[in-house]
Amino acid sequence: MSHQIWMNGDLVNHEDAKVSVLTHALHYGTSVFEGVRAYETPDGGSAVFRHADHIDRLYRSAALYHMEIPFTKDEIRQATFDTITASGLKSCYIRPLVFRGAGPMGLYPLDCPVEVIIAVWAWGAYLGDEGKVNGVRAKVSSWRRISSDALIPTAKAGGQYLNSILAKIEADKAGYEEAILLDSNGYVNEGTGENLFLVKDGVVHTPGFANDILEGINRAAAIEILRDQGYEVVERNIARGELYRADEIFMTGTAAELTPIREVDDLPVGDGTRGPITTEIQAIFEDALHGRSERYAHWLDKVPAAVS
């Protein structure tokens, strides 16, 4: 973890980044956040992947939960750069968090102040580097993904992740690396923190927004890469049984990056190894993340060099 955290406009030491135990978000989950990554680039610098898209989604999530962020988007962008520079890290995971602070206790949140922090830390692939190469084992969870008639799945809100936490614990206790959630109608939805893609007969299929998925930024990048490579990408309802007939399955997310699934419910996906389309797209995606692709260079927001 970085020694300094940006909190409400200032960089403070990690041990001084404190909140009250009566913080509204601590009691009721009133927070929204982003998962962002910066990567070291070939010139020795650092760049944030799809930074503007992440900031835009942070503001959309906050607005959906009636939180007005007390900083401009440009200020959040600069604060992210400052936090990365202060950390001394070239590659890092970035966590902006917007939350309701201490105020009147009770469910009504609008009289509680809106606070913002940005933290960074060194964090490898969420499901492991080995998982990115060999794939991970997943199970279909007994827990259904929250639906849009109960909460707002398109918002990246803290309290909503209790849903993913239950599925993650269930999968782990059963001996799997990841869970796959179905939506309220029984169609394939997403992982605990990743969007899903299935490959069958050369066509790529992925759940759409009617399935109450999160609007994944790495999902959008993968779709663009797939279409640029000439693959047909179909967004549609996917039945659970299609998971067991897929030639390839992979997940995308900021934490997981692009990770194949080699088994679902103890049944091999394809031949049980990373498939050719997954391998091709993953290589292009990795080049884009690390600044090795001219075609997708516009996805990178370079961190200004520190002034000594």
Question: How many residues belong to the chain?
Answer: 308
Cβ contacts of residue 298 below 8 Å, gap of 6+? none
Residue 14's nearest CA partner among 118, 90, 99, 98 is 118
Residue of 132, 139, 156, 168 marked catalytic: 156
Q: Mark whether 156 is an active-site residue.
A: yes
Write the CA distances from 157 to 100, 110, 153, integer angstroms.
Answer: 12, 16, 8
CA-CA distance, 86 to 104, in Å (whole number)? 35
DSSP E strand stretches across the chain = 4-7, 10-13, 31-33, 36-40, 46-49, 92-100, 114-121, 136-140, 178-182, 188-191, 195-200, 203-206, 233-235, 248-253, 257-264, 267-268, 300-302
Integer distance in angstroms from the first to the last C-alpha of the chain?
A: 23
CA-CA distance, 136 to 157, in Å (whole number)? 26
Which positions are catalytic? 156
